[in-house]
Amino acid sequence: QVQLVESGGGLVQAGGSLRLSCAASGRTFSTNAMGWFRQALGKEREFVATLTSSGRGTDYAGSVKGRFTVSRDNAKNALYLQMNSLKPEDTAVYYCAARLVPFGSRASDDYEYWGQGTQVTVSS
């Protein structure tokens, strides 16, 4: 069983930065690939970034590539999402998710565990 708790969301002006964190419980974190997804009001959940269990492999949605950086600290059971140059269209609830395999995925159905989400609002 893996429990995930996101934090770090908030209100920021366009062009600003936020760092999201995801704290994971359980003994398998270092073997889990992790992902970040987001869901804007009235829209479907979409892929943001994914990271292999080792942290050496990453993949990003085109809309965030070059602005967002995903990382993890397996010693702390923590996942991060550094978000720079934020835009109003980045406004959404951001979710972290865990897979029971080491390889990342863009598909939300591939993730077995989800956090409750944290709201990010970017004002223009």
Measure the CA–CA gap between 39 and 27, rounded to whole angstroms. 28
CA distances from 57 to 39, 52, 100 (A): 24, 5, 16
pLDDT digits (tens, 9 = 90+) for 6-65: 999 999 999 999 999 999 998 789 999 999 999 999 999 999 999 999 999 999 999 999
pLDDT of residue 77: 96
Contact 104, 58 (CB under 8 A): yes
Measure the CA–CA gap between 76 and 90, rounded to whole angstroms. 27
**CA neighbor of 46 nearest in space, from 95, 83, 4:** 95
pLDDT of residue 52: 97
CA distances from 97 to 49, 68, 75, 85 (A): 10, 17, 18, 24
Q: Is the pLDDT of residue 87 over 90?
A: yes
Copy the structure tokens of residue 85: 């140059």
